[in-house]
Chain A
Amino acid sequence: MSSAASVSPSAPGTPGAAGHDDRKVPPVADMARIIGLSIPAACLPDVVANTALLQGYADLLGGFALPDDCEPAYEYTP
């Protein structure tokens, strides 16, 4: 996708184009545009806060190495 570079969020923890830590302020507008979602201005602070919260959980999870043969639990039996 030729336009991907202009709308994709930076990888968590890496400096964005503006040279700051993107984990502090997730590129919510770009992320929303990718999925066709328009975020009303009044909602933006709350969405940003929740996105940052989820990123924290994602970072926690991403810090754990899983074996390659560990498959996703899409068809899950307890």
Chain B
Amino acid sequence: MKKNMIVIATTITFVVIFVVAAVIYNNQKDKELSSASLKNIEHMQRDYSPMMGPPDAKVTIVEFFDPACGTCSAFYPFVKQLMEDNPGKVNLVLRYLPLHQNSDVIVSIFEAARLQNRFQETLERAYQTREAWIEHHVSRPEKLWGQLDGLGLDMEKLNEDLRSAEIAKRVKQDMLDAQQLNVTKTPGFFVNGKPLVNFGYQQLQQLVESEIANNY
């Protein structure tokens, strides 16, 4: 019947237009993102930003993260592995993008722990105990507090520091930089200033490897 054919052809046309438009749109967006991040290179890293790995490495991964974000937590060991696989060549700069409710307090705890040289330990403990302090996508800082035993933290000092104006300023600056760099989701990765456009483990690994090849 002819009408069947009209309707089927129309449906297929809609789907094809949708897919083609999506591909074109994404390609254009990729180009824009790449040029935007090159223009905004000064937003990539601040002198206060916490760094892990060898400071003189020529490949720097910048990660905007939210400790309450499950994907950030899943990527963390992968990024560490990338650094281990390429000893001395890759380091990691962490930027705060606390999108979940109350996550700004969680990252302030990290910053306060950094003053006691316990940044990495605290971050890793927070990732390990995520389920204990996240309820319905809302961070519960007071519940993370109970998970921080045995890290050698001076809890009284931590409590004082995390309310400091300097820490609040850093968190705010990180969020502003994320906005400038068009990072709206976590984790947001850049490798030597180049954004990870197609998200995934493999894509990140390829971007890191191509930067290693360019710089070593």
A and B co-occur in one complex: no
Give chain A's interface residues, CB within 8 Å of chain B. Answer: none
